[in-house]
Amino acid sequence: MLFIRYLPRDLSSAYLVGSPTTEKYRVYASISFAVLLLGIGVPLWWHTTAVPRVPLPYDGIEQLSNLEINIKTKLIILALSRDRAELLVHDIKEAFKNASICQVEIIYRVISNTFAFTHHQLEKIASNFDVDVGQLLLFETTNLNNAVLVGSERTIYFSTETTSSTLIQILSEWMLHENSLALTKNALTEPTLYSLDEKNRRRFPASSAYDILITVVNPDPEKLKIDWNLREMVEEYVEPFLDEVSILSNFSVKSQWLYLLPLDVTPKRVPDSSPLGRHFALSEDVLPQLITPLEKKLASQVSLRSTINFVIYVVPCDNAPLYIYTRSGHRSKINANVEAFLSPRWGGVILINPPVETCMTVKSDELVTIVPEQTIVVGTFLTQLKLLLGIPEPKFLNGVTIVPLPGLKLHNWEVDALLRVRTIEQLTSAKLTLQSLARLLQEIGNIVITDIVGNRIKTALSLVEKSAQQLTQGDLATGFLLSKEAFITAEAAFSDPTLFALLYFPADQKYAVYTPLFLPTMVPVLLSLKSIYRYYFVRK
């Protein structure tokens, strides 16, 4: 028997294809898929594949181009009369009114005549005045006989007959170095328009640490023995000198001995009237050729620090005495067993000749013992080191004398002059590094910027601004330390290993990878949006 059951009309129609209820559920399903994919899936995918980039102060870095670096130097003039003091103040201010970096602040005091006849007595009197780092004291006295004496501290003693132009020349060429500071800044900022002078090309660029590598070369150990305690020389002479410039950077002294390393050039034999009847000559033109074979053996490249090389080459009797000749054909030194030359931003080479008497009495197969003249060698070594660090020899000025110091110690005003140069170099380098890094990060969007890099950039920017502010206020010591920290921090941010764009997919490659995955899913969802629109808007 066949039974036929009839469903209610309203219930059966609910399940018919094309009924309003079925269409409503289909629209709801489309909406849920669209919300899940477009509202949750796409943003989540975009967030998980985005390169993490900490926000940076781009506006502040851009404003560094307008940051003026001015070093204010306080001059204290002690004069015997008010008219004399006011005249010196007027002339010195006029001389430095157009200076771009050095700004002078001058105060004066009228003092009574001092009966001091030696520089020790003068410096004892000057010690009663507080002269901080970067400041200078100009002391007038009647006991110098129209001469100027530059003290060991930060004092210039001058007579009543000394003219303002002489004092201005000392301040400009020995103390403040306005032209050199401006050239250093301009050469770093616009290298195509400005070039460094000889003094700035010679010194090593700013660095957080230096290795000083002292190498003693014995080219023929079978015939030559060198009796020299190198460690004692370093501890007695080199380390005290480095302690004076320890504020500049961290210095590490290393030493080594090399054997069987002859000169790569053949010196010219020159007959003469000496007991040996000859000597050997090296022209200045061939000196750079000596450095290339030495550089291969020094192993200075194993250090990540900037290395200042000093090579002490002991000449065997077969090639002694060995002298350096200038391009004009004259000997560079007379009556000395030590010859030396300097290579800019590399180091120095010292040639030690054995005594003539020793070479005359020695037999051909006999071992010669050489004891270097330590005073001459150390003096040459420290003189070269001063030049490489940026402490030039003062230019000769008629009637101006410098108080000598034992052991080639540095005068305080020399250290201050070095701090000014280094401060300008470090601040300018930090500014350029931050601006270059900011442009790079803006142009390449797939370079990650971690919190560490972001904090370094922000810290370096703040240090540059604080350093410039301290220099404007006349605090050279604090300004230098802040510029040093800004330079180190900016370099650390620029060389951070996470700043490597190739570790992350460029945008076009990212889309090429994910498009085949998302497109088949997105097409039905996008088409369903049309049904949703028709259901809610067109049907009504």
Rg of the chain (C-alpha set): 37
Domain identity same for 233 and 129:
no
Give the residue from 113, 114, 134, 138 showing the smallest Cα distance to 125: 114
User: What would the two tokens of residue 278 be?
Assistant: 């000859």
Among residues of the chain, what percentage have pLDDT more than 70? 92
Cα–Cα dist 504/498, whole Å = 11
Whether 312 has a pLDDT exceeding 90, the answer reads yes
Mean pLDDT of 515-530: 75
Whether 1 has a pLDDT exceeding 60, the answer reads no
The pairing of beta strand 347-352 with beta strand 338-343: antiparallel
Q: Cα separations (Å) of 439 from 54, 111, 161, 228, 465?
A: 15, 57, 57, 54, 19
The pLDDT confidence band at residue 264, using thresholds 50, 70 and 90, is confident
Cα–Cα dist 23/138, whole Å = 99
* Residue-wise pLDDT tens digits, 219-263: 989 888 899 988 999 999 999 999 999 999 999 999 899 998 888
Higher pLDDT, 123 or 417: 417
Mean pLDDT of 360-364: 78
- pLDDT at res. 89: 94
Residue 145, by phi and psi: left (phi above 0), alpha (psi -120 to 50) or beta? Answer: left
Higher pLDDT, 178 or 51: 178
Domain identity same for 162 and 225:
no
Domain identity same for 300 and 368:
yes
DSSP state of 190: -
Residue 1 falls inside a structural domain:
no
Burial pattern 29-68, b for ≥16 Cβ within 10 A else e, equals ebbeebeebeeebeeeeeeeeebeeeebeeebbeebeeee
User: What would the two tokens of residue 506 be?
Assistant: 């460029």
* Residue-wise pLDDT tens digits, 382-436: 999 999 999 988 888 888 999 888 777 899 999 999 999 999 999 999 999 999 9
Domain identity same for 303 and 376:
yes
Mean pLDDT, the chain, whole residue set: 85
The pLDDT confidence band at residue 19, using thresholds 50, 70 and 90, is low
Mean pLDDT of 499-519: 69
Neighbours of 207 (CB within 10 A): 18
**Residues 6 or more apart whose Cβ sits within 8 Å of residue 213:** 254, 255, 256, 298, 300, 307, 308, 309, 310, 347
* Residue-wise pLDDT tens digits, 151-195: 888 999 998 889 999 999 999 999 999 999 999 999 999 988 888
DSSP of 222-266, one letter per residue?
TTEEE---HHHHIIIIIHHHHHHTTTT-EEEEEEEEEES---SS-
Domain identity same for 261 and 324:
yes
Q: Is 389 within 8 Å of 421 (Cβ atoms)?
A: no
Number of domains in the chain: 3
Domain identity same for 78 and 30:
no
Cα–Cα dist 476/73, whole Å = 8
Is residue 209 helix, strand or coil? strand
Q: Is the peptide bond before 321 cis (omega within 30 degrees of 0)?
A: yes
User: What would the two tokens of residue 162 be?
Assistant: 């000394």
- pLDDT at res. 31: 79
Domain identity same for 221 and 311:
yes
- pLDDT at res. 115: 60
- pLDDT at res. 358: 84
Q: Cα separations (Å) of 100 from 53, 97, 206?
A: 38, 9, 22
Residue 12 falls inside a structural domain:
no
Residue 464 falls inside a structural domain:
no
DSSP state of 14: T
Domain identity same for 84 and 122:
yes
Q: Is 252 within 8 Å of 214 (Cβ atoms)?
A: no
Neighbours of 468 (CB within 10 A): 23
The pairing of beta strand 368-370 with beta strand 136-140: unpaired
Whether 129 has a pLDDT exceeding 90, the answer reads no
Q: Is 254 within 8 Å of 212 (Cβ atoms)?
A: yes
Residue 127 falls inside a structural domain:
yes
Cα–Cα dist 177/172, whole Å = 5
- State the CATH number of the domain containing residue 83: 3.40.50
- pLDDT at res. 12: 42
- pLDDT at res. 10: 46
Residue 325 falls inside a structural domain:
yes
Domain identity same for 30 and 92:
no
The pLDDT confidence band at residue 504, using thresholds 50, 70 and 90, is low
Could you list the residue range(s) of the whole structural domain that residue 258 is in? 204-389
Whether 13 has a pLDDT exceeding 50, the answer reads no
- pLDDT at res. 528: 76
DSSP state of 507: H
Domain identity same for 158 and 275:
no
- pLDDT at res. 482: 97
Residue type, 496: D
Whether 7 has a pLDDT exceeding 50, the answer reads no
Whether 14 has a pLDDT exceeding 60, the answer reads no
- Report the side by side order of strands in the sheet with 209-218: 250-259, 209-218, 306-314, 347-352, 338-343
**Residues 6 or more apart whose Cβ sits within 8 Å of residue 514:** 45, 49
Domain identity same for 148 and 285:
no
Q: Is 206 within 8 Å of 487 (Cβ atoms)?
A: yes
Cα–Cα dist 161/143, whole Å = 11
Whether 94 has a pLDDT exceeding 70, the answer reads yes
* Residue-wise pLDDT tens digits, 325-357: 888 887 877 667 889 999 999 999 999 998 888
Q: What is the 3-state secondary structure (H, E, C) of 421-432?
A: HHHHHHHHHHHH
Domain identity same for 279 and 362:
yes
Mean pLDDT of 457-466: 96
Instruction: Choose the final residue of a domain: 359, 389, 419.
Output: 389
The reported pTM is 0.84
Residue 513 falls inside a structural domain:
yes
Residue type, 407: G
- pLDDT at res. 519: 74
Instruction: Choose the final residue of a domain: 389, 406, 426.
Output: 389
Q: Is 182 within 8 Å of 441 (Cβ atoms)?
A: no
Instruction: Choose the final residue of a domain: 164, 180, 196.
Output: 180
Neighbours of 203 (CB within 10 A): 22
Residue 533 falls inside a structural domain:
yes
Whether 39 has a pLDDT exceeding 60, the answer reads yes
Residue 282 falls inside a structural domain:
yes
Cα–Cα dist 525/532, whole Å = 10
